[in-house]
Amino acid sequence: MASKQVYAVFVLPVIFSVIIGVIVLSGSLHNSDGELNIWNASSSGGLFSNNPTIQIIGLSKQYSTSEPIEIQVKINASSFRCGDLYVTIYSSGKSDAITQGGFFEQCFDQNDLLPMGDTFSKVIETSGLYEIVIEMVSKDMKNISTKGIFTVK
């Protein structure tokens, strides 16, 4: 008699759990085009539901070796209001950063330009093709980024 109780208490719940789990996962995979998208992440790598955009304001296509690169950033995302802004310039095609700026605790409204209360201004003294990467990381680790290319002559 004790073996029937063990069977009813321990084995049957495991069997039912597996069956129900298979049914739920099977239904989920069939309803979402074969993908199980638990986190609802966008293709840009962030966890947003409103397709946020980030724009570089003031980036020219060409600079001289004595002219500062001065840019601002505009973010269009209703759910994205505070975070850290990182601006990095790379020599095009290389992974080593030429210069970098970090602006922490940037809290803003949708119409504000970043960095708030500060400026990004760097002079690059070597001619060449460069890539600027802008990344905004929120306190809950959501992030969005964009890139731009310019030349220094």
Q: pLDDT tens for residues 78-128?
A: 667 888 999 999 998 888 899 999 999 888 777 788 888 888 999 999 999
Note the pLDDT of residue 152: 95
Does residue 72 sit in the same domain as residue 137? Answer: yes
Rounded to an integer, the average pLDDT of 66-83 is 85
Does residue 59 sit in the same domain as residue 21? Answer: no
Residue 106 lies in a domain: yes
Does residue 91 sit in the same domain as residue 130? Answer: yes
- pLDDT range class, residue 149, cuts 50, 70, 90: very high
- pLDDT range class, residue 31, cuts 50, 70, 90: low
Does residue 94 sit in the same domain as residue 146? Answer: yes
Does residue 31 sit in the same domain as residue 7? Answer: yes
Note the pLDDT of residue 107: 84
Tokens of 60: 């020219």
Distance (Å, rounded) from C-alpha 27 to C-alpha 19? Answer: 12
Does residue 64 sit in the same domain as residue 125? Answer: yes
- pLDDT range class, residue 42, cuts 50, 70, 90: very low
Rounded to an integer, the average pLDDT of 57-61 is 94
Does residue 61 sit in the same domain as residue 32? Answer: no
Residue 48 lies in a domain: no
**For a pLDDT cut of 70, what percent of the chain falls above it?**
78
Does residue 132 sit in the same domain as residue 109? Answer: yes
Rounded to an integer, the average pLDDT of 39-65 is 68
Does residue 33 sit in the same domain as residue 82? Answer: no
The pLDDT mean for the chain works out to: 80
Short-list 104, 103, 100, 111, CA closest to 133: 100
Tokens of 53: 């955009």
Beta-sheet pairing, 120-123 with 62-63: unpaired
| CB neighbour list of residue 112: distance below 8 Å, 6 or more residues apart | 74
Does the N-terminal peptide bond of residue 115 adopt cis geometry, omega within 30 degrees of 0? yes
The CATH number of residue 128's host domain is 2.60.40.2550
Beta strands in 58-142 (DSSP E): 62-63, 68-76, 82-91, 97-107, 113-114, 120-123, 128-138
User: pTM, whole model, 2 decimals?
Assistant: 0.63
Rounded to an integer, the average pLDDT of 132-145 is 87
Does residue 70 sit in the same domain as residue 142? Answer: yes
Confidence check: pLDDT of 43 > 80:
no
Does residue 34 sit in the same domain as residue 62? Answer: no
Q: What's the number of domains the chain is made of? A: 2
Q: Which domain holds residue 89?
A: 53-152
Amino acid letter, 49:
S
